[in-house]
Amino acid sequence: MPTRMIITMLSLLAFGMATANAHAVLDHANPRVGNAVRTAPREVTLWFTQDLEPAFSTIEVRNASGERVDSGKATLASGDRKVLRVPVKSLAAGTYTVSWRVLSVDSHTTQGTFSFRVGE
């Protein structure tokens, strides 16, 4: 009987861990989260932990005044449904805020915000 209880508890624990990882989480970004870059990027690229639904996944990039500086719709990288990117206008020195909202293929929505800086 104790062996059954242990197996049951381990199964429940494994199921709970799988459920907790069922969302697309931001893995890393270019420019990196909180990083300062010398040269302004031409696009912002985000890598996630799960495949995304492109029709329901967005990235907005705003300058310190709150004006949008992304130029176009966010798209998936060719051949990789975990990578979402958006082109940006010519960025001057300053701080920029990236806001993202994605829908993973398992129908869970996640969102987040981070900043990066252009210039010294």
Please give the residue that has the higher pLDDT: either 9 or 119: 119
Mean pLDDT of 65-82: 95
Task: Read off the pTM.
Answer: 0.80
Residue 19: the pLDDT is 42
Q: Which pLDDT band holds residue 120 (cuts at 50, 70, 90)?
A: confident
Residue 23: the pLDDT is 84
Domains of the chain: 23-118 (2.60.40.1220)
Q: Which residues pair with 94 in a beta bridge?
A: 118
Mean pLDDT of 44-61: 96
Can you spell out the DSSP letters for 65-103? TS-B-B-S--EEETTEEEEEEEEB-PPPSEEEEEEEEEE
Taking the CA atoms of the chain, what radius of gyration do you get in angstroms?
19
Residue 3: the pLDDT is 60
